[in-house]
Amino acid sequence: MTTQHIVSAFDRDLVGAQAKVMKMAGLVEEAMAQVAIALETNDLAKADAVRKNDKAIDALDEDIKHECARILATRSPTASDLRTVLTVMSISSNLERCGDYAKNIAKRTTVLTNATPINGVAAALRGMQNAVSSMIKDVLEAYIQRDVARAEDVRDRDNQVDEMYNTLFRSLLTHMMEDSQNITACMHLHFIAKNIERMGDHTTSIAEQVIYLVTGEMPDEDRPKSDLTAFTTPEDLGEA
């Protein structure tokens, strides 16, 4: 819908709420990029900044929810307007969670600077991080352009992140079994990997919201999922 509402303040409300989501998305992208650098370079000041900046993301989320409640109460949006408000609320929640995961990674970075480095894990994490960052970048582009094909592509790519996470999970398990000295670092690295994997899930959820916003239909649940770690035991490692 490109035409304007008869009540122009309604247009301003909708544009305003979406602008806040984009601002929030910018902060989340920045947090993810900064925390990745902090982790790789053991930059504690940077990690600390990411933790502090999460407050701004949380505040925006609250602001957006408040704004959406006001729009629902006062404007009674219907059809694509209603879907706009609903998706803004949902995407805001997804972004807020991504912000929390970045903050959590920043906390663990502080512990990891004092722990034994684990070979090869940094590169694997970087791979996951890059994959999720590019998913977020694309899903935001899909949101702005109302591009369903692009959103579907993002949704399908979550599979790759899951596979990277599986591989890393098994590798961390192996490290821990080889030497119990590695356990502290490996546990934290595992949570970091899990956080990134969860960010991928939230990004997928945003992609689904974009599809709903444009088509009015939620996509089917049967997308391929590859996170198998819930069923992985030490005995499985021998088969790999």
Partner 1 sequence: MDDLRTVSKDVDANNTKISAKNVQVYYGDTHAIKDVNVEIKERTVTAFIGPSGCGKSTFLRSINRMNDTIDICRVEGDIRIDGKDIYDRDVDPVQLRARVGMVFQKPNPFPKSIYDNIAYGPKIHGLAKTKAEMDEIVEKSLRRGAIWNEVKDRLHAPGTGLSGGQQQRLCIARAIATEPDVLLMDEPCSALDPIATSQVEELIDQLRESYTVVIVTHSMQQAARVSQKTAFFHLGNLVEYGNTDDIFTNPKDPRTESYISGRIG
Instruction: Give the three-class secondary structure for 226.
Output: coil
Q: Please report how the helices 183-215 and 79-112 are oriented relative to each other, as an axis angle in degrees rounded to 10.
A: 170
- Choose among 169, 157, 225, 226: nearest CA to 194: 169
Binding footprint of partner 1, residue count (CB under 8 A)? 17
User: Which 74-133 residues touch partner 1, going by CB under 8 A?
Assistant: 76-83
Verify binding: residue 3, partner 1, rule CB under 8 A: yes
Verify binding: residue 73, partner 1, rule CB under 8 A: no
Q: Give the nearer residue to partner 1 in terms of CB position, either 2 or 180.
A: 2
Q: Give the nearer residue to partner 1 in terms of CB position, either 77 or 200.
A: 77
Q: Give the nearer residue to partner 1 in terms of CB position, either 27 or 89.
A: 89
Q: Which of 5, 65, 107, 150 binds partner 1 (CB under 8 A)?
A: 5
What is the residue whose two structure tokens read 């989320």? Answer: 61
Cβ neighbours, 10 Å, residue 86: 16
Minimum distance, C-beta of residue 94 to partner 1, in the bound complex (Å)? 21
Q: How far apart are CA 23 and CA 64, in angstroms?
A: 11
Verify binding: residue 15, partner 1, rule CB under 8 A: no
Verify binding: residue 233, partner 1, rule CB under 8 A: no
Q: How far apart are CA 114 and CA 188, in angstroms?
A: 12
User: Which 183-212 residues touch partner 1, going by CB under 8 A?
Assistant: none
Phi, psi of 214 (to 5 degrees): -80, -45
Q: How far apart are CA 240 and CA 237, in angstroms?
A: 5
Q: Give the nearer residue to partner 1 in terms of CB position, either 11 or 141.
A: 11
Q: Which of 119, 178, 217, 230 binds partner 1 (CB under 8 A)?
A: 217
Q: Check residue 182 and report its DSSP letter.
A: G
- Point out which residues bind partner 1 (CB under 8 A): 1, 3-7, 10, 76-83, 216-217
